[in-house]
Amino acid sequence: MNKIITIAIDGFSSTGKSTVAKHLAKELGYVYVDTGAMYRAVTLFAMQKGYISKDYFKKDQLVLDLKNIDLHFIFNQDIGFAEIHLNGVNVEKEIRTLEVSNFVSNIAAVSEIRKKLVEQQQIMGKNKGLVMDGRDIGTVVFPDAELKIFMTASPDERAHRRYNEMINKGDKVSYETVLKNVNDRDRIDTTRKDSPLVKASDAVELDNSDLTVEETFENVNKLALERIVNN
């Protein structure tokens, strides 16, 4: 009999984690959870409340206000996956701007925020049967996950992917700005004190710099099927 497992997909930004995770969840009939969206939604909240800007970060005030942040994923039948709602409002679009991307790593470095979101993520995964992507899923959120993938790709390749994505959406950005954001986030995410981005010792590393989205998916799907059938 097939086993129901937990799949943790971690890695650098713009490595295609969420595309692969979404596809895999659909294929397996599992739930998909985008934890980056949760950190992004908290960032949007901080921006709306004036706790963070280019010039300051009122961290203590944000921490005091955390109890007023309600995050929920609600399944959207039309697109086939769940969208994040911040205090009852669908913010799926607003959280993908470069402005949010520029602040999110600072927000994600705050321990009180991580604690709140990790608790919520662990509750979402308590019955297994989910694919969760992020930075600390295999190391902190689900250290016992049956399959852990660590996705990498060169910064240049990742910046090109993100740049093309934004241009296609109609955003006006320069490649240099996007590359800077990728490099800045890599630095903050890998060097923060709490739960830095690091490959779990038992994770399978997958460098997809030279792979297509389909090839990346095939690799991950094969690993998932091995775990599900052999366990």
Give me the residues that bind ligand DC (CB under 6 A), please: 13, 35-36, 39-40, 104-105, 108, 134-136, 185, 189
Q: What is the CA radius of gyration of the chain?
A: 17
CB of 117 to ligand DC, least distance (A): 7
3-state secondary structure 125-155: CCCCCEEEEECCHHHHHCCCCCEEEEEECCH
CB of 99 to ligand DC, least distance (A): 13
How far apart CA 117 and CA 113 sit, in angstroms, is: 6
The least CB distance from residue 225 to ligand DC, in Å, is 25
Q: Which is nearer to ligand DC, 36 or 228 (CB)?
A: 36
The total number of residues shown for the chain amounts to 231
Structure tokens at 140: 């902190």
Rounded to a whole number of angstroms, the minimum distance from the CB of residue 129 to ligand DC is 19
Query: Under DSSP, is residue 7 helix (H, G, I), strand (E, B) or coil?
Result: strand
Residue whose C-alpha is closest to residue 93's, from 174, 166, 160, 162 = 166
Tell me whether residue 10 or residue 30 sits nearer to ligand DC (CB atom): 10
Nearer to ligand DC, 30 or 39 (CB): 39
Minimum CB distance to ligand DC smaller for 85 or for 225: 85
CB of 134 to ligand DC, least distance (A): 2
Pick the closer one to ligand DC by CB: 7 or 108. 108
In the complex with ligand DC, which residue's Cβ is closer, 106 or 225?
A: 106
At closest approach, how far in Å is the CB of 7 from ligand DC? Answer: 14
Q: How far is the CB of 53 from ligand DC (least distance, A)?
A: 18
Closest CA to 205 of 7, 11, 71, 30: 11
10 touches 134 (CB < 8 A): yes
Give the orientation angle of helix 111-124 with respect to helix 35-48, to 10 degrees.
Answer: 140
Beta strands 130-134 and 6-11, pairing class:
parallel
Which among 209, 205, 194, 197 is positioned nearest to 147, based on CA atoms?
205
17 versus 228: smaller Cβ distance to ligand DC: 17
In angstroms, the CA 216 to CA 174 distance is 27
